[in-house]
Structure 1
Amino acid sequence: MSRKESLQKLRVTLIRRRDALRKALAGDLSLLSELHQQRTGDALDAAADTVQDELNSQLVEVESQELVEIEEAIAKFQQGNFGDCEDCGKPIPLNRLRAIPYASDCIECRRKAESDSDGSAAAVPWNRIFDMADADKVEG
């Protein structure tokens, strides 16, 4: 299968995911609104409702961000530059696009961006997390 055919399959996947997210978000938002109107119960119920509202809110935020990224990827199809890294301009490997169809950068540029970022995520050696946990047990 050619790269062009693979990219077209990814376009279909993106459109399906976009439509599913739109439906999910519409349902989540209407459910949240409906639940706010039906408040009953004691303080424990109110606390549980608040926790659930926070979780739902975070889920809506994550889904909304994914929807934005998917819509940007679909727009790139229309512009003719879907599958190209925004930083270096090279084609993004198909395996990366299959894993994250809305990826906008290649792995090398993503790694560089993460290492250049000021975030603490780059400071954690995730591939060594179990080794660190075992070392804590030995030292403790």
Structure 2
Amino acid sequence: MARKDSLEKLRKILQKRRDAIVRSALGDLSLLQGRASKSADVLDAVADTVQSELNSQLLEVESRELAAIDEAIERLNRGEYGTCETCQKPIPLTRLRAVPHARECIECHRLAEKRRSHPAARMNRMFDSYQTDGAS
């Protein structure tokens, strides 16, 4: 029963984080839309451009986190939350508290990271990218 109670607390944490990201993203979006660069000074124009790029990148990161949180909430609704998608073992609560939208236990996550960072994996991604770009 303790795990079930902890998972419900994590649901509330996910929902609060989701609400915070939505508010932040709306603010970032309004900043991007509200920037009409009419600066007479070149340095001001450059600063505006850099700030717009940073806001755009932040919006992208927030968008990815929001998608991960929405998926975690959906897994909660289906009763699949807290189970590693790779090994099917329960994800420790300490990991879920640290990363509430985690899909894998730390061991499986580390193995996946190692595979992604392996030189052969990087070469495969480069090759796939080349084929996609070259086909256009």
TM-score by length of structure 1 reads 0.80
CA distance in 1, matches of 2:12, 2:95: 16
Give a deviation string over 1:37-78, Cα, whole Å, max 9, x none: 253231111111111111111111111110000000000011
Unaligned regions of 5+ residues in structure 1, if any?
Answer: 121-140
The percent identity for this pair of structures is 56
The aligned counterpart of 2:20 is 20
Unaligned regions of 5+ residues in structure 2, if any?
Answer: 120-136
What RMSD, in angstroms, separates the aligned Cα atoms of the two structures? 1.4
List aligned pairs for 1:27-66, cutoff 5 A.
27-35=27-35, 37=36, 39-66=38-65
Would the aligned equivalents of 2:37 and 2:48 in 1 still touch at CA under 8 Å? no
Give a deviation string over 1:97-120, Cα, whole Å, max 9, x none: 000000000011001101111467
TM-score by length of structure 2 reads 0.82
Return structure 1 stretches of 4+ with deviation > 4 angstroms.
none
The aligned counterpart of 1:89 is 88
Letter in 2 for 1:104: R
CA distance in 2, matches of 1:5, 1:118: 37
What number of residue pairs does the alignment pair up?
Answer: 119
Give a deviation string over 1:110-133, Cα, whole Å, max 9, x none: 01101111467xxxxxxxxxxxxx
